[in-house]
């Protein structure tokens, strides 16, 4: 019988029942959404982190000492046994590739190369001429196309080379059976080794590609490197695997293996932890808002049923039976809403997985979701009891009153608790500076709730006072609106709900806006250009020349170098750029001063005075008035190239009189830079000497060189030792006296003493705000720089580093360093949008091999799926859902008791008030009801965002994440405000429709 009455009541109040059901479903969905979305987002972070990593970062490898006689096959078998014994690790890795390598010297120029065996290598190369090597035959080798050209090797001919063993060489002979190009240099097949570099002719240079064999017996050096590498299977690592897998691999690495995967998993878990910590910040207030709107709906429905409940009591229902009668409908609806809410939460997560999460994310029905649904049903039933309790326990006669009594004391106690908690949370945030504790994280929702309470109280008091003022002034619409706002308890509740919801929307939109701005900024800074190729080249000159040949117009490609140095406990990145191409390709981060063109102009160094020597001979016409020394002395040319470093080329013994001194420079055909001239002592001698000479002309071959001999300051001495004193005068007159063994150097100053630099971050100097500093950059010694411009963030530099003129930096470093021997320099090609698809092939043809491709769009997409962005998507969804709930609550309030409201309007109309006046009163009522929370909630939301934005990871959860810029995007806030106003306009239109349907026939029923 009771169940029948309950179902009949639900059917009779089907409209209100649907509202209560929908609100309960939303509350259950909000509860389920937290664990469901959190797990899906964590899975997305894991998949993104592993899928975007290079294969060598996730592979598992085993190494063995070849001195012990272990070959690739032996190591492979041993590694397979280890992984078979550890299935928890082995199941995540694909079939291993074994290999070995040894250093060899080949060709007439004695170029250094690697002789490499890789299991199944023939499937990963393209044969240009000849055939691939046969694993069953010995003595067969494959040469890269450029390597074959360099050493003059022909297919089918014998080929001699030397194996390098502990610094000595052993002669060996093989047959070139073919030439090849790699099918894909980025393939996981090649493992951790960068086999593909630029061509060179020095013994320290590597060839463009290794010498390959498919027979492991061909690589026999005692110090050869033997490895087996197992690539990670795509999608094999699940969330439940991460912790144990990292520990197992670390244990395995202590034996014979190794992997970078555990460290990567640690970084991924840090992002997942940040995600877990930040989601409750918005999920909790959303859930509470859902429950509170449910509370309003149930309370309104229960109050409307007051006469029914009073009648039940008058007919003899006891307290228990009355409670069951009053709660039955709402409890049935909450119970029914639980599975629907579970499905809705799963559905939302499934949609999010398809729209914003990484590919392959699986949305699972797990026990955590069922537990959340159970909590939601308990919370919903508790909300139903709290919303109905006062009505159910009120005496029957009191329920028959038009206006029910108010529980002012209990409301005041609850408000006092909210005020106290908000004060403590704000103290922690503002005074203690703690934005990470549990209570501090609740500062934003508590502040929103406090604002809601304030609006509710203030609106009620203001409305009651406005009634009399409007009546005295004769403003009827204002009086009607104030009377409605002041006497209806539900209106007070509504204003609080609206304020909290709009505060949540303002908070979410502001945080999202700041994060979106910073994601773009960080993507631009990290990428530097729309696309960046990480490349291999033998030296910076090969890189610059290769880019110039691949893009002769200079419109879509730029050579760049990067090197990191450690200063004051932090990494400092030095990036060399080409100022003539930088504006065409670079992305200058948002919010930083200047433009790419202005930055290029500030770092550009005039190099028009540089002297390039191409030979085959370099000469100097010299008049020596004094050459006094007991030992022979000579004049030398001081030249350099980035690929060989500085060198001194003898020009002949110094003698008094006028003569021409000559130096053979056959290796300068591609261009050497003249650094200066040197007065050289006889090696090891330190007898006193005196030299006076004047250089009247310099010749590159037979071509006169404009060396600015008469320009003051163009030629300067390099500070000599204490035992030597000299002067350099215009006209290049040199006078030197010395008694030590040091040579006397005169430097041609074609570059400034201090290169201009754009500096990101503090000055790398004791004076952290100074405009001058010296650091080791590309060269071997500290190099002075001037700060031409400061920036918070710079392309490929981040927050700590400098941008300098590439050519100026290279030639400055080449004074004391051979840059081809530097392993710390990273070579890059920055590529503009719209570059031709043939660029990579053109670079490869110019000796610049692409080994990695980085994209600004890929970086931005990755950041949009990083843990902070995934949490902020939920923030934004929560804000939108909160406003929808608030609008629903307004409509619910309008429809509950609608007949009584229409009765009042009809009575006022018959009393003589025009319909226009009544509509104006309704418009004013809802303009106040919606407008005040909109303004207050929006302001409080922005204020809360300002308080808490520094505690919320916006772009990355990493400890070294770039410091965000707290800047709002006005169009996003404007869009949110415009959509909210549009929704509110729809609400007012619907409410005015109720006014239009007020029928005088209602007077015959008394509005019931």
Q: What is the Cα–Cα distance from 351 to 357, expressed in whole angstroms? A: 9
Q: What is the Cα–Cα distance from 955 to 865, expressed in whole angstroms? A: 10
Upper half-sphere CA count for residue 831 (Cβ side, 13 Å): 26
Q: Tell me the angle at which helices 443-473 and 261-304 cross, rounded to the nearest 10 degrees.
A: 30
Length of the chain: 1008
pLDDT at residue 558, as a whole number? 95
Among residues 744, 811, 815, 754, the alpha carbon closest in space to that of 610 is found at 811
Residue 390 has pLDDT above 60, yes or no: yes
Q: What is the Cα–Cα distance from 161 to 104, expressed in whole angstroms? A: 7
Give the residue-averaged pLDDT of 43-54. 83
> What's the pLDDT band for 321 if we cut at 50, 70, 90?
low
Give the residue-averaged pLDDT of 780-806. 89
pLDDT at residue 555, as a whole number? 92
> What's the pLDDT band for 307 if we cut at 50, 70, 90?
low
CB 111 within 8 A of CB 172: no
Q: What is the Cα–Cα distance from 629 to 738, expressed in whole angstroms? A: 10
Residue 393 has pLDDT above 70, yes or no: no
User: Could you give the residue ranges of the DSSP H alpha helices within 305-366?
Assistant: 306-314, 319-355
81 contact partners, CB below 8 Å, separation of at least 6: none
Give CA separation, 641 vs 668, 810, 816, in Å: 8, 9, 10
pLDDT at residue 699, as a whole number? 93
Residue 1006 has pLDDT above 80, yes or no: no
Q: Which of 249-253, 317-321, 866-870, 935-939 has the highest mean pLDDT?
A: 935-939
The three-class DSSP label of residue 259 is strand
> What's the pLDDT band for 67 if we cut at 50, 70, 90?
very low
CB 241 within 8 A of CB 46: no
Instruction: Give the pair of three-digit tokens for residue 688.
Output: 């006193």
Among residues 555, 534, 535, 532, the alpha carbon closest in space to that of 795 is found at 532
pLDDT at residue 1008, as a whole number? 47
Q: What is the Cα–Cα distance from 187 to 851, expressed in whole angstroms? A: 10
Upper half-sphere CA count for residue 783 (Cβ side, 13 Å): 26
pLDDT at residue 755, as a whole number? 92
- Mean pLDDT is lowest, of 67-76, 262-271, 289-298, 322-331, for 322-331
Higher pLDDT, 23 or 716: 716
Residue 409 has pLDDT above 50, yes or no: no
- Mean pLDDT is lowest, of 442-451, 479-488, 620-629, 943-952, for 479-488
User: Could you give the residue ranges of the DSSP H alpha helices within 474-581?
Assistant: 476-487, 489-527, 540-550
- Reported pTM: 0.75
Q: What is the Cα–Cα distance from 537 to 557, expressed in whole angstroms? A: 16
Neighbours of 733 (CB within 10 A): 17
pLDDT at residue 309, as a whole number? 67
Residue 862 has pLDDT above 80, yes or no: yes
How many Å is the Cα radius of gyration of the chain?
40
CB 643 within 8 A of CB 202: yes
Question: E strand or H helix at 660, and its extent?
Answer: strand 657-664
Burial class (CB in 10 A: 0-12, 13-18, 19+), 805: buried
pLDDT tens per residue, range 209-259: 788 988 888 887 666 778 888 888 877 888 777 777 778 887 777 666 788
> What's the pLDDT band for 201 if we cut at 50, 70, 90?
very low
> What's the pLDDT band for 198 if we cut at 50, 70, 90?
very low
Q: What is the Cα–Cα distance from 870 to 33, expressed in whole angstroms? A: 13
829 contact partners, CB below 8 Å, separation of at least 6: 532, 533, 535, 543, 547, 557, 558, 559, 560, 843, 848, 850
Among residues 718, 675, 677, the alpha carbon closest in space to that of 697 is found at 677
Residue 84 has pLDDT above 80, yes or no: yes
Average confidence score pLDDT of the chain: 80
315 contact partners, CB below 8 Å, separation of at least 6: none
The Cα diameter of the chain in Å comes to 136
The three-class DSSP label of residue 781 is coil
Give the residue-averaged pLDDT of 272-278. 77
Residue 192 has pLDDT above 80, yes or no: no
Give CA separation, 916 vs 66, 113, 905, 919, 920, in Å: 97, 93, 12, 5, 6
pLDDT tens per residue, range 662-679: 999 888 887 889 999 999
Upper half-sphere CA count for residue 208 (Cβ side, 13 Å): 24
Q: Which residue has the tokens 């096959």?
A: 73
pLDDT at residue 396, as a whole number? 63
pLDDT at residue 704, as a whole number? 92
> What's the pLDDT band for 323 if we cut at 50, 70, 90?
low
> What's the pLDDT band for 850 if we cut at 50, 70, 90?
confident
Query: DSSP for 44-86?
Result: HHHHHHHHSS-HHHH-EEEEEEGGGT--HHHHHHHHHHHHHH-
pLDDT at residue 1007, as a whole number? 46
CB 577 within 8 A of CB 804: yes
Q: What is the Cα–Cα distance from 178 to 301, expressed in whole angstroms? A: 87
Give the residue-averaged pLDDT of 141-162. 83
> What's the pLDDT band for 864 if we cut at 50, 70, 90?
confident
Upper half-sphere CA count for residue 706 (Cβ side, 13 Å): 4
Instruction: Give the pair of three-digit tokens for residue 637.
Output: 């040319």
Upper half-sphere CA count for residue 287 (Cβ side, 13 Å): 23
Q: Which residues of 456-485 are buried (b: 16+ CB within 10 A; e: fewer)?
A: bbebbeebeebbeebeeeebbbbbbbbbbb
Instruction: Give the pair of three-digit tokens for residue 537.
Output: 């080249």
> What's the pLDDT band for 787 if we cut at 50, 70, 90?
very high
pLDDT at residue 700, as a whole number? 93
What's phi and psi for 14, nearest 5 deg? -60, -35
> What's the pLDDT band for 267 if we cut at 50, 70, 90?
confident
> What's the pLDDT band for 770 if we cut at 50, 70, 90?
confident
pLDDT tens per residue, range 882-896: 787 777 777 777 776
CB 501 within 8 A of CB 282: no
Upper half-sphere CA count for residue 310 (Cβ side, 13 Å): 15
Instruction: Give the pair of three-digit tokens for residue 245.
Output: 């897998």
Q: Which residues of 551-578 are buried (b: 16+ CB within 10 A; e: fewer)?
A: beeeebbbbbbbbebeeeeeebbbbbbb
CB 529 within 8 A of CB 857: no
> What's the pLDDT band for 200 if we cut at 50, 70, 90?
very low
pLDDT tens per residue, range 85-109: 888 888 888 888 888 888 888 877 6
Percentage with pLDDT > 90 across the chain = 15
CB 561 within 8 A of CB 575: yes
Higher pLDDT, 791 or 479: 791
Instruction: Give the pair of three-digit tokens for residue 953.
Output: 């990871």
pLDDT tens per residue, range 550-571: 999 999 999 999 988 877 667 8
Q: What is the Cα–Cα distance from 480 to 471, expressed in whole angstroms? A: 9
Question: E strand or H helix at 724, and its extent?
Answer: strand 724-729
Give the residue-averaged pLDDT of 129-154. 84
Query: DSSP for 737-773?
Result: EE-SS--EEEEE--S-SSEEEEEESS-SSSSTT-SEE
Instruction: Give the pair of three-digit tokens for residue 922.
Output: 């309704």
Q: What is the Cα–Cα distance from 845 to 642, expressed in whole angstroms? A: 21
- Mean pLDDT is lowest, of 69-78, 314-323, 944-953, 972-981, for 314-323
- Strands (E) across 750-842 are located at 755-760, 772-776, 782-791, 801-805, 826-831
Give CA separation, 918 vs 547, 737, 905, 994, in Å: 77, 108, 7, 12
């Amino acid at each position: 019988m009771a169940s029948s009455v309950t179902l009949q009541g639900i059917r009779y109040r089907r409209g209100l029942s649907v509202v209560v059901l929908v609100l309960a479903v939303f509350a259950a969905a909000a509860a389920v959404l937290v664990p469901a979305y959190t797990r899906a987002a964590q899975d997305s972070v894991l998949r993104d982190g592993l899928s975007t990593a290079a294969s060598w970062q996730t592979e598992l490898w085993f190494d063995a000492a070849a001195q012990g006689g272990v070959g690739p096959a032996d190591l492979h078998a041993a590694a397979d046994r280890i992984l078979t014994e550890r299935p928890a690790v082995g199941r995540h890795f694909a079939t291993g590739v074994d290999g070995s390598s040894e250093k060899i010297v080949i060709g007439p120029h004695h170029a250094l190369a690697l002789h490499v065996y890789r299991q199944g290598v023939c499937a990963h190369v393209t044969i240009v001429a000849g055939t691939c090597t046969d694993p069953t035959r010995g003595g067969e080798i494959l040469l890269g196309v450029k390597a074959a050209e360099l050493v003059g090797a022909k297919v089918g001919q014998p080929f001699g080379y030397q194996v390098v063993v502990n610094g000595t060489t052993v002669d060996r002979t093989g047959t070139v059976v073919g030439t090849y190009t790699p099918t894909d240099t980025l393939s996981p097949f090649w493992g951790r080794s960068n086999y593909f570099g630029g061509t060179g002719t020095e013994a320290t240079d590597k060839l463009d590609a290794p010498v390959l064999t498919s027979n492991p017996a061909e690589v026999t050096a005692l110090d050869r490197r033997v490895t087996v590498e197992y690539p990670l299977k795509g999608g094999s690592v699940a969330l439940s695997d991460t912790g144990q897998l990292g520990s197992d691999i670390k244990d395995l690495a202590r034996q014979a293996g190794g992997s970078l995967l555990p460290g990567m998993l640690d970084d991924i878990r840090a992002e997942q932890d940040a995600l877990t910590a930040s989601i409750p910040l918005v999920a909790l207030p959303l859930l509470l808002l859902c429950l509170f709107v449910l509370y309003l709906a149930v309370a309104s429905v229960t109050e409307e049923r007051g006469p029914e409940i009073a009648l039940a009591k008058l007919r003899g229902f006891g307290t228990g039976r009355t409670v069951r009668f009053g709660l039955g409908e709402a409890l049935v609806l909450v119970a029914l809403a639980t599975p629907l809410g579970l499905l809705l939460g799963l559905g939302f997560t499934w949609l999010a997985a398809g729209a914003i999460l990484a590919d392959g994310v699986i949305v699972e029905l797990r026990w955590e979701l069922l537990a959340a649904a159970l909590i939601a049903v308990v919370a919903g039933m508790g909300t139903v009891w709290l919303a109905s309790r006062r009505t159910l326990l009120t005496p029957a006669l009191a329920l028959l009153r038009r206006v029910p009594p108010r529980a002012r004391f209990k409301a005041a106690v609850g408000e006092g608790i909210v005020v106290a908690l908000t004060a403590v949370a704000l103290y922690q945030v503002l005074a203690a500076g703690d934005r990470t504790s549990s209570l501090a994280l609740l500062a934003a929702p508590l502040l929103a709730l406090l604002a809601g309470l304030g609006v509710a109280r203030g609106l009620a008091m203001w409305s009651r006072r406005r009634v009399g003022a409007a009546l005295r002034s004769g403003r009827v619409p204002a009086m009607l609106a104030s009377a409605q706002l002041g006497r209806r308890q539900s209106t007070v509740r509504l204003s609080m709900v609206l304020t909290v919801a709009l505060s949540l929307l303002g908070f979410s939109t502001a945080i999202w806006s700041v994060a979106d701005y910073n994601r773009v900024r960080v993507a631009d800074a990290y990428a530097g250009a729309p696309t960046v190729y990480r490349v291999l080249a033998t030296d910076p000159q090969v890189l610059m020349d290769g880019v110039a040949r691949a893009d002769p117009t200079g419109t879509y490609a730029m050579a760049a170098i990067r090197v990191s140095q450690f200063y004051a406990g932090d990494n400092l990145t030095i990036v060399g750029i080409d100022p003539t191409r930088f504006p065409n390709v670079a992305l200058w981060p948002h919010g930083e001063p200047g433009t790419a063109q202005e930055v290029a102009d500030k770092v550009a160094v005039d190099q028009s005075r540089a002297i390039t020597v191409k030979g085959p001979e370099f000469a100097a016409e010299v008049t020596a008035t004094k050459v006094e020394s007991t030992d022979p002395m000579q004049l030398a040319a001081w030249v350099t190239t980035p690929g060989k470093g500085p060198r001194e080329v003898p020009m002949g013994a110094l003698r008094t009189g006028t003569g021409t001194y000559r130096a053979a420079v056959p290796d300068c055909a591609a261009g050497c830079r003249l650094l200066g001239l040197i007065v050289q002592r006889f090696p090891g001698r330190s007898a006193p000497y005196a030299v006076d000479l004047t250089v009247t002309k310099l010749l590159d071959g037979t071509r006169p060189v404009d060396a600015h001999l008469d320009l003051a300051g163009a030629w300067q001495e390099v500070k000599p030792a204490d035992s030597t004193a000299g002067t350099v005068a215009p006209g290049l007159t040199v006078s030197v006296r010395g008694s030590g063994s040091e040579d006397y150097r005169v430097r041609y100053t074609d570059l400034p003493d201090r290169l201009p630099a754009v500096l990101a971050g503090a000055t790398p100097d004791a004076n952290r705000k100074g405009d001058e500093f010296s650091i080791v950059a590309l060269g071997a010694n500290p190099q002075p720089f001037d700060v031409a411009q400061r920036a918070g963030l710079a392309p490929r530099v981040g927050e700590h580093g400098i941008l300098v003129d590439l050519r100026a930096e290279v030639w400055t470093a080449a004074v004391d360093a051979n840059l081809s021997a530097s392993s710390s320099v990273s070579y890059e090609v920055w590529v503009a949008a719209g570059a031709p698809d043939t660029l990579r092939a053109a670079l490869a043809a110019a000796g610049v091999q692409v080994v990695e491709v980085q994209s600004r769009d890929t970086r931005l997409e990755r950041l949009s799926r990083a843990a902070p962005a995934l949490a902020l998507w939920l923030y934004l969804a929560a804000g939108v859902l909160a406003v929808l709930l608030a609008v629903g609550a307004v409509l619910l309030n309008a429809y509950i008791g609608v007949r009584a409201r229409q009765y009042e309007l009809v009575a006022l109309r018959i009393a003589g008030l025009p319909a226009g006046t009544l509509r104006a009163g309704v418009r004013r009522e809802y303009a106040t009801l919606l407008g005040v929370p909109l303004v207050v909630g929006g302001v409080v939301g922005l204020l809360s965002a300002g308080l808490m934005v520094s505690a919320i990871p916006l772009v990355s959860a990493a400890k070294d994440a770039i410091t965000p810029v707290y800047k709002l995007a006005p169009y996003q806030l404007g869009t949110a405000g415009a959509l909210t106003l549009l929704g509110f306009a729809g609400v007012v239109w619907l409410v005015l429709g109720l006014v239009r349907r007020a029928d005088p026939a209602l007077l015959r029923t008394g509005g019931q």
